[in-house]
Homo-oligomer: A and B are copies of this chain.
Amino acid sequence: MDVRQHIDNVLEATMTRADLPDAPPLLAKAMRHAVFPGGGRLRPRLTLAVAAACGNDLPAAADAAAAAIELLHCASLVHDDLPCFDDAHSRRGQASVHVAYGEPLAVLAGDALIVMAFQGLASGLAMVPERLPLLLGIVADAVGMPAGICAGQAWESEPTVKLAEYQRAKTGALFAASTMAGAAAAGREARSWRMLGECLGEAYQVADDLRDVAADPAELGKPVGRDAALGRPNAVGHLGIVGAVRRLESLVADAVASVPDCAGAGALRALIHKEAERFLPKELARYAA
């Protein structure tokens, strides 16, 4: 089965607890709206790819880790889109959650998706509880304080932004957790997988900055030019388009080089090369080496 389809199936299974008869139906719908249809499902694919490279002896654990990472990503998008932050009206080619369901249900959908990530870890790791403290810590740290997504978003409310912390927390943290969680779910040492996630996270950030200045909004499914409009840092602004494309290529090379020795290292390196090609918007491929 296609890995994206597999991830959607795992997300569906995790989310059935929102569809029970006694649950409030509009919140259940708002949560589904935030998760389906998905974007690239990049982070959970990364989790599953690392778990596979590490032997993936218990697929239920890796699936729970992948689902948790994606649910937290979706939750962060719902809250980022709120009127008090980006006030974004569309996301993934459809209305953002607060536009479709109102602000109260958007706040609650984000909250409930955060919680659901952890509900899924509790049930998915029940067979291997000895792996849960590490995995739970990795996943939670990626979205909380001091250096997870909430911390990253909070830098936008500070009078002076620490740019490195901002980007590392806002985007890098969940990518780093995606690779580490894959290893932890498979019962392996996780720290040596951090570099892979960090490099890919930064590569993704540069690619996103490139898309923000250069992509077709219809292809992207959300408005472009938002960074300039909102005064946010953008790699293209200080490296130029060619410089940013070069930076992206060098980060992907670092990512490939960082893969720790393991049974599936070769296959994983090949996969990273292949996937990285998708990072670059079509309009910019001509700048690549």
Residue numbers of A with Cβ under 8 A of B are: 17-20, 22-28, 31, 75, 79, 82, 84-85, 101-105, 107-108, 110-112, 114-116, 118-119, 121-123, 125-126, 129-134, 136-137, 140-141, 143-148, 150-151, 153-158, 162, 165
Interface of chain A: mostly helix, strand, loop or mixed: helix
Q: A27-B151, A150-B27, A158-B26 are in contact. Are A82 and B105 (CB under 8 A)?
A: no
- Which B residue's beta carbon lies closest to that of A15? B145
Given contacts A23-B151, A26-B154, A108-B153, 12 further A-B contacts (CB under 8 A): A18-B146, A24-B151, A24-B158, A26-B157, A79-B111, A104-B154, A104-B156, A108-B150, A111-B111, A115-B143, A119-B137, A132-B132
Are B22 and A162 neighbours in the complex by a CB distance under 8 Å?
yes
Q: A103-B84, A147-B22, A151-B27 are in contact. Are A125 and B130 (CB under 8 A)?
A: no
Are A145 and B27 neighbours in the complex by a CB distance under 8 Å?
yes
Are A122 and B104 neighbours in the complex by a CB distance under 8 Å?
no
Q: A116-B145, A119-B141 are in contact. Are A102 and B26 (CB under 8 A)?
A: no
Determine how close the nearest CB of chain B comes to the CB of A15; give it in whole angstroms.
8
Q: A27-B157, A79-B107, A104-B85 are in contact. Are A115 and B130 (CB under 8 A)?
A: no
Chain B residues within 8 Å of A136, by CB = 118, 121-122, 132, 136
Are A144 and B116 neighbours in the complex by a CB distance under 8 Å?
yes
Q: State in angstroms the CA–CA spacing of A190 and B154 once bound together.
A: 37
Q: A107-B107, A146-B18, A154-B24 are in contact. Are A123 and B112 (CB under 8 A)?
A: no
Chain B residues within 8 Å of A126, by CB = 133
Determine how close the nearest CB of chain B comes to the CB of A82; give it in whole angstroms.
7
Determine how close the nearest CB of chain B comes to the CB of A142; give it in whole angstroms.
9
Chain B residues within 8 Å of A85, by CB = 104, 107
Q: State in angstroms the CA–CA spacing of A150 and B116 once bound together.
A: 11
Q: A114-B114, A126-B133, A133-B132 are in contact. Are A104 and B144 (CB under 8 A)?
A: no
Q: State in angstroms the CA–CA spacing of A184 and B162 once bound together.
A: 41
Are B112 and A150 neighbours in the complex by a CB distance under 8 Å?
yes
Chain B residues within 8 Å of A79, by CB = 107-108, 111
Q: State in angstroms the CA–CA spacing of A108 and B151 once bound together.
A: 8
Q: State in angstroms the CA–CA spacing of A154 and B137 once bound together.
A: 28
Determine how close the nearest CB of chain B comes to the CB of A237; give it in whole angstroms.
22
Which of A144, A147, A151, A158 has the most B CB atoms < 10 Å from its CB? Answer: A144
Are B140 and A115 neighbours in the complex by a CB distance under 8 Å?
yes
- Which B residue's beta carbon lies closest to that of A132? B132
